[in-house]
Amino acid sequence: MSEAARPLVTTRRDDNGIATRIEGSAIGDSVYRWMTTGFALGIPILLLFIALEVGAAAWPALKAFGFGFLTSSEWDPPHNIFGAAPAIYGTIISSIIALMIATPLALGVAIFLSEFAPSWLRQPVAFLVDLLAAIPSVVYGLWGIFVLQPLLRDHVMPFLSGLPLIGQTALFEGPAYGPSMLSAGLILAIMVLPFISAVSREVLMAVPRSQREAALALGATKWEMIADAVVPYARSGIVGGIILGLGRALGETMAVTMLIGNVHKISASLFAPGYTMASLIANEFAEATGDLHLSALMAVGAVLFVVTLIVNGLARWLVWRVSRETQS
């Protein structure tokens, strides 16, 4: 192979000016290639090291409690008993609540901005919605304690439990104090909304004009055009935006810690306090001195890592399936 390449270089070397340039860029090419390869490999290697490090630190706790670490609700540091089930449950439930509230809202914002909004309104509204992402999470937490929770406690929660039929279910049971799964889910919804709406907006705007015109030419109303031609075309991108929001909801720490009540209990009621994995680590890591306690917190980190990987994998699969459907 190299012999085949050599004459190519030498023949061109006849022309002096070009020859040096080719030689120089050949070295540059290979250096550049190795450099980018290094960067590209660096990230997976880093990820691997993080996984190994967290896994190794988590091992003593996982060995001591086995599968029970995932299913037990007992978290008792002075007696060295650790079970993370409430935190795992809380992480997943609060994220689901957040997505259930944020997704329709964010999609509505995105569709309005891309299809209906007059151009003088589009930029300011998009900017303000995006600005939600710039607010520090501790500010969300404070706002939650001083505004959202009193509002929930005095108005929203009594209203929900007073609803016919669903108000009597286990979902809305128990005293309404404020700190609860519901308030954590709501604050997360507000925090992930700008991510979903920004991605969805961009994707919807990128739908070709011809797609819209074709639908209209076939006699579709504006609603039919959006529902049947524009949104399905942008579906995989929208799912990607939702996944981005989900990733943020799973890992959010500060605002959730301030609002969820931090109690190691699994309750069906959305009014009851709970815990999340990220909050648990943030709450206890600084003051944990026992070896098993530290290891248990690392194990919670490892579980969060795995849950995030699974969710991301599911999401990739979903995007892949959706985009394949759209093509066919």
Partner 1 sequence: MTRSKVFALMATGLVSVACAGGESKRTPDSAAASPSPASATTGGADLTGAGATFPQPIYSKWFSDYAAKTGVKINYQSIGSGGGIRQIQEGTVDFGASDAPMTDDEMAKAKGGPIFHFPTVLGADVITYNVPGVTQSLQLTGDVVADIFLGKIKKWNDPRIAGLNQGVKLPATDILVVHRSDGSGTTYVFTDYLTAVSPAWASGPGKAKDVKWPVGLGGKGNEGVAGQIKQTPGTIGYVELAYANQNKLPVAKLKNAAGQYVSPTIASITAAAAGALEKLGPSTDYRVSIVNAPGADAYPISSFTWLLVYQRQQDSVKAKKLVDFLRWALTEGEGSVSALDYAPLPETVSKQLLEKLASIQAGTGS
Contact indicator for 54, 305 with CB cutoff of 8 Å:
yes
Stretch touching partner 1 by CB under 8 A, among 172-180, 198-206, 232-240, 309-317: 172-180
For partner 1, the closer of residues 6 and 33 by Cβ is 33
Only one residue has tokens 């070896």, namely 291
For partner 1, the closer of residues 82 and 195 by Cβ is 82
For partner 1, the closer of residues 151 and 205 by Cβ is 151
Q: Does 286 bind partner 1 (CB under 8 A)?
A: yes
Task: Tell the smallest beta-carbon distance from residue 126 to partner 1 (Å).
Answer: 34
Q: Does 76 bind partner 1 (CB under 8 A)?
A: yes
Residue 67: DSSP 8-state: T
Q: Does 185 bind partner 1 (CB under 8 A)?
A: no
Q: What string marks each residue from 109 to 148 as x (binds partner 1 by CB under 8 A) or -?
A: ------------------------------------xx--
Q: Does 279 bind partner 1 (CB under 8 A)?
A: yes
User: Which ranges of the chain does DSSP label H, i.e. alpha helix?
Assistant: 2-13, 16-65, 68-71, 85-111, 119-131, 137-143, 149-151, 157-162, 181-205, 209-217, 222-224, 231-233, 235-251, 254-259, 277-284, 291-327
Q: What string marks each residue from 79 to 108 as x (binds partner 1 by CB under 8 A) or -?
A: x-----------------------------
Q: How far is CA 37 from CA 31, 34, 156, 183, in A?
A: 10, 5, 54, 45
For partner 1, the closer of residues 194 and 261 by Cβ is 261
Task: Tell the smallest beta-carbon distance from residue 274 to partner 1 (Å).
Answer: 10
Contacts (Cβ under 8 Å, ≥6 apart) of 308:
247, 250, 251
For partner 1, the closer of residues 130 and 284 by Cβ is 284
Task: Tell the smallest beta-carbon distance from residue 281 to partner 1 (Å).
Answer: 11
Contact indicator for 260, 184 with CB cutoff of 8 Å:
yes
Stretch touching partner 1 by CB under 8 A, among 72-80, 182-190, 204-212, 236-244: 72-80
Q: Does 38 bind partner 1 (CB under 8 A)?
A: yes
Query: Pick from 103, 183, 257, 295: which binds partner 1 (CB under 8 A)?
Result: 257
Contact indicator for 61, 299 with CB cutoff of 8 Å:
yes
d(CA 290, CA 78): 9
d(CA 40, CA 26): 21
Structure tokens at 101: 């509230």
d(CA 319, CA 235): 8
Q: Which amino acid is at 15?
A: D
Binding site for partner 1 (CB under 8 A): 20-21, 24-25, 27-28, 31-32, 34-35, 38-39, 42, 74-79, 145-146, 149-150, 153, 175, 177-179, 257-258, 261-264, 273, 279, 282-284, 286-289
